[in-house]
Amino acid sequence: MQLENRVIMVTGGGRAIGRCIALRGAREGAHVVVLGPEQPELDETATEIRRLERRALALLADVTREEQVQAAAARTQNELGRIDVLVNNAGIVGPTAPIQQLKRDDWEKVMAVNLTGAFLCAKAIVPGMIEQRAGKIINISSVAGKQAYPLRSPYAVSKWGLIGLTLTLAKELGPHNIQVNAVCPGPVAGERMRLIIEQRAKELGQTPDAVERTYLRTTALDRMVSEEDVAATVVFLASSAGDNITGQAIDVSAGYGL
């Protein structure tokens, strides 16, 4: 029980990696708050958390709306007493296209969710962490935030920016005993990756199987990672084992891009 009685807030906690992190946290003893734009999936995740005999809040919130984020943080403080860990997981894939074909609205939407949302959530919870002189912020970035990612410039830039936010906050908040790190998944097996592969195949005029093989060949281990792999790393950083780790962008990528 690495996280017993800690309070974790997970954005985008109703599905995919976010849901996996929320449930893994509960299995490790944490009380969990899940935020997201779809109430039914949040409620489903919260129900699973309660079956693990942990407290859960399912809060409908758009991370791009500061007033909604602030309200979620305030409700968590009121009902659970504190926030020990913030996991900024909310993110969208965005378009797959060369830059000359991108629409500004698409660019700005990706930045708003993937980067500004993390900023707003951190802004909302940091005062409480400073007051309690302890806390952890874990940003879910990507290996796309460390290298070129042709045809995916909005997504890549948002993830590069998220690493920049991580490093800056680690230095800024260190004196308050707050650790800030990023987890950088490589290709994660699942529905979302399937859609990315299909979009890329269409843009390149290739088959999805060919594009998938390209992704796999780019990894050292010739495989994708799982949502559980990402969640396990988040739990490690959120636990006392991660108390002296800050300002790091840790790959969970099967050796992608080596």
7-187+226-252 maps to which CATH number?
Answer: 3.40.50.720
Q: Give the separation between CA 67 and CA 60, rounded to whole angstroms.
A: 12
pLDDT by position in tens, the chain (length 258): 899 999 999 999 999 999 999 999 999 999 999 999 999 999 999 999 999 999 999 999 999 999 999 999 999 999 999 999 999 999 999 999 999 999 999 999 999 999 999 999 999 999 999 999 999 999 999 999 999 999 999 999 999 999 999 999 999 999 999 999 999 999 999 999 999 999 999 999 999 999 999 999 999 999 999 999 999 999 999 999 999 999 999 999 999 999
Cα separation of the two ends of the chain: 34
Q: Per the residue annotation, which of 149, 155, 215, 256 is the catalytic one?
A: 155
pLDDT of residue 68: 98
* Annotation says 155 is catalytic: yes
How is the chain classified by DSSP, letter by letter?
A: -TTTT-EEEEETTTSHHHHHHHHHHHHTT-EEEEEES-HHHHHHHHHHHHHTT--EEEEE--TT-HHHHHHHHHHHHHHHS---EEEE--------S-GGG--HHHHHHHHIIIIIHHHHHHHHHHHHHHHHT-EEEEEE--GGGSS--TT-HHHHHHHHHHHHHHHHHHHHHGGGTEEEEEEEE--B-SHHHHHHHHHHHHHHT--HHHHHHHHHHTSSSSS-B-HHHHHHHHHHHHSGGGTT--S-EEEESSSTT-
Q: Where are the domains of the chain?
A: 7-187+226-252
Least Cα distance to 69 among 23, 126, 108 occurs for: 126
Render pLDDT for 105-160 as a digit per residue (tens, 0 to 9). 999 999 999 999 999 999 999 999 999 999 999 999 999 999 999 999 999 999 99
pLDDT of residue 74: 98
pLDDT of residue 39: 96
- Cα atoms found within 13 Å of the Cα of residue 148, Cβ hemisphere only: 3
Bridge partners of 182? 139, 249
